[in-house]
Amino acid sequence: MTTAQAAAAPVVRLENVVRRFSDRPALDDISLTLARGEIVGLIGRSGAGKSTLIRCLNGLDRPQAGRVVIDGTDISTLSEQALNPVRRRIGMIFQHFNLLSAKTVAQNVALPLKIAGVEKAARLRRVMELLDLVGLADKADMYPAQLSGGQKQRIGIARALAPEPLLLLSDEATSALDPETTQSILNLLGDVNRQLGLTILMITHEMEVVRQIAHRVLVLDAGRIVEEGPVARVLASPQTDTTRSLLRGLSPVLPADLAARIAPQGDQALIRVDVYGPAARRPLLAEIEAITGRPARLVHGGLNDVQGEPYGRLFLALGTGDPALVGAVTARLQPETTAIEVLGYVPSDI
């Protein structure tokens, strides 16, 4: 294998992985790859199989069928002993941090290095480097119980990064944190990804986490990957009910009083337009006005962004109820948008 090929080779490749608990499959024929330097969000409801999947990646759990290939090595059949060198190259952070209460912050961060047989002086140097990276160098001699949740997770991250891992697994790492702390942890993970080119797999049940940090998203439901793709595409036009329900609260919904006034006939048509990427930058209202001759109005909705890429959902009142004109508008916008739907007709005074 040439160097270029090695760089392009996936860090993780799962092939038809099956894991059953008694009779219920937790993972049902999962195949996926993680490319080097990628942040991938793995989202699903609780019980979807997310934790089982992440545990299969470092051999804490074994699939009954299929292959788990980490950096070219199939680990699904390795003995516990043979697994250890592979595990030392995979960092992991946890929802409840899992720091050792009997060890100081510095000793916690040093543990993976001790396990890897790094000598004491080098260990101390690396620990201080990492504590600097996560901004907690002054807490080296404290115990985890003396830290806040966000600080504990920073220590967890420092510990996971200590052996310069190839892959970072994040198991609901921000689920126990408040929104502000979540933000700072996500920023830290983003920085680490950019600075070290670290591949990160983020397990979460919060689409907001995926939106903020992931490049790509996999939606897991009942042990199967039901949807995957670039985050902006999935957010803008979810293809499955699972994804849509995970997006609830994140994509705008028409207010109830407005929705109640929608009728099959009326003064003007109300349409829903889902856009992302270049389509979200178009002067949609002006384009509609050019077709109908009447000013269209934004009734509800808005744009958001995912890693600089705009996406959003707009509810537009067209100013006309003429079926021919409405048809012309949808026909004109259809190719540019990810989804367009005529919801019905509303009075002109809304």
Partner 1 sequence: MSPQTFDFLLGWAMTRPMFDLLLRGIWETVVMTGISGALSFVIGLPLALVLVTTDRGGIFQNLWINRSLGGLVNALRSVPFIILLVAVIPLTRLIVGSAIGIAAAIVPLTLAAAPYFARVAEVSLREVDRALIDAARAMGATRATILREVLIPEALPGIVSGFTVTMVTLIGASAMAGAVGAGGLGDIAIRYGYQRFETAVMVAVVVILIVMVSIMQWAGDALARRIDHR
Helix (H/G/I), strand (E/B), else coil: 113:
helix
Q: How far is the CB of 54 from partner 1 (least distance, A)?
A: 10
Among the listed residues 33, 94, 128, 205, the single contact to partner 1 using CB under 8 A: 94
| Paired strand residues for 270 | 317, 344
Residues 75, 102: Cα–Cα separation, whole Å: 32
Residues 261, 38: Cα–Cα separation, whole Å: 46
Among the listed residues 100, 298, 331, 339, the single contact to partner 1 using CB under 8 A: 100
Among the listed residues 72, 85, 135, 197, the single contact to partner 1 using CB under 8 A: 85
Show the site string, 292-321: x = touches partner 1 by CB under 8 A, - = not. ------------------------------
The answer to whether 219 and 234 are in contact (CB under 8 A) is yes
Among the listed residues 20, 62, 103, 224, the single contact to partner 1 using CB under 8 A: 103
List the beta strands (DSSP E) in 22-79.
Answer: 24-34, 39-43, 65-70, 73-74
- Closer to partner 1 by CB, 117 or 335: give it: 117
Indicate whether 102 belongs to the interface with partner 1 (CB under 8 A).
Answer: yes
Window of 91-99, 204-212, 244-252, 272-280 that interacts with partner 1 by CB under 8 A: 91-99
Residues 326, 126: Cα–Cα separation, whole Å: 65
Indicate whether 212 belongs to the interface with partner 1 (CB under 8 A).
Answer: no
| Burial category of 70 from C-beta neighbours within 10 Å (exposed 0-12, middle 13-18, buried 19 and up) | buried
Among the listed residues 14, 27, 44, 58, the single contact to partner 1 using CB under 8 A: 58
Q: And the tokens for 113?
A: 């290095």
Q: And the tokens for 111?
A: 């543990």
Window of 77-85, 121-129, 218-226, 315-323 that interacts with partner 1 by CB under 8 A: 77-85
Of 202, 196, 146, 198, the closest CA to residue 174 belongs to 202
Residues 80, 66: Cα–Cα separation, whole Å: 18
Helix (H/G/I), strand (E/B), else coil: 11:
coil
Indicate whether 144 belongs to the interface with partner 1 (CB under 8 A).
Answer: yes
Window of 7-15, 111-119, 213-221, 310-318 that interacts with partner 1 by CB under 8 A: 111-119
Q: And the tokens for 209?
A: 């986490």
Q: How far is the CB of 173 from partner 1 (least distance, A)?
A: 13
Contacting partner 1 within 273-292 (CB under 8 A): none
Window of 10-18, 82-90, 175-183, 256-264 that interacts with partner 1 by CB under 8 A: 82-90
Number of H helices, E strands in the chain: 13, 14
Indicate whether 111 belongs to the interface with partner 1 (CB under 8 A).
Answer: yes
Residue count at the site for partner 1 (CB under 8 A)? 28
Q: How far is the CB of 280 from partner 1 (least distance, A)?
A: 41
Q: How far is the CB of 316 from partner 1 (least distance, A)?
A: 50
Indicate whether 116 belongs to the interface with partner 1 (CB under 8 A).
Answer: yes
Indicate whether 143 belongs to the interface with partner 1 (CB under 8 A).
Answer: yes
Cα 188 → chain centroid: 15
Q: In this structure, what is the dihedral angle of CA atoms 35, 170, 107, 136, given to the nearest 10 degrees?
A: 100
Q: How far is the CB of 12 from partner 1 (least distance, A)?
A: 15
The count of other CB atoms within 10 Å of the CB of residue 38 is: 19
Indicate whether 268 belongs to the interface with partner 1 (CB under 8 A).
Answer: no
- Tokens 């003396």, located at residue: 146
- Tokens 């480097």, located at residue: 129
Indicate whether 98 belongs to the interface with partner 1 (CB under 8 A).
Answer: yes
Q: And the tokens for 173?
A: 């790492």
Q: How far is the CB of 244 from partner 1 (least distance, A)?
A: 32
Indicate whether 83 belongs to the interface with partner 1 (CB under 8 A).
Answer: yes
Residues at the interface with partner 1 (CB under 8 A) = 58, 60, 81, 83-88, 90, 92, 94, 96, 98, 100-103, 111-112, 114-116, 143-145, 163, 169
